[in-house]
Amino acid sequence: MATTPATPAEKMTGIGLAGGLVISALLDTLHSKGILTPEESRKVLDAALASVGPCAESREGFEATQVIGLLRVRFT
């Protein structure tokens, strides 16, 4: 466990990591229960990818597109 306060960059990384893990678990659960089809899961991730669009030229935005792309592959 960390003993010093997190930097703003570390906090933002933690927020991004937590959000990605929650979304991944949620999509997996909805898919396994038959609530979302693989196609619908891809559409959700495509919408997220489109939302990143304006930020995709930044390093953070580029990394976000890579992670979303990796999640999308899980539903092909």
Q: How many domains does the chain have?
A: 1
Which two structure tokens, joined as six digits, stand for 36? 């979302």
Domain that holds residue 21: 9-73
1 has a pLDDT exceeding 70: no
- Residue 44 placed within a domain: yes
* pLDDT at residue number 53: 81
Give the torsion sign (CA, 15, 20, 25, 31): positive
Distance of CA 61 to the CA centre of its chain: 11
pLDDT in tens, 18-76: 998 999 999 999 999 999 999 999 999 999 999 988 888 888 888 889 999 998 998 88
- Residue 4 placed within a domain: no
* Residues in contact with 50: Cβ distance below 8 Å, sequence separation at least 6, in sequence order: none
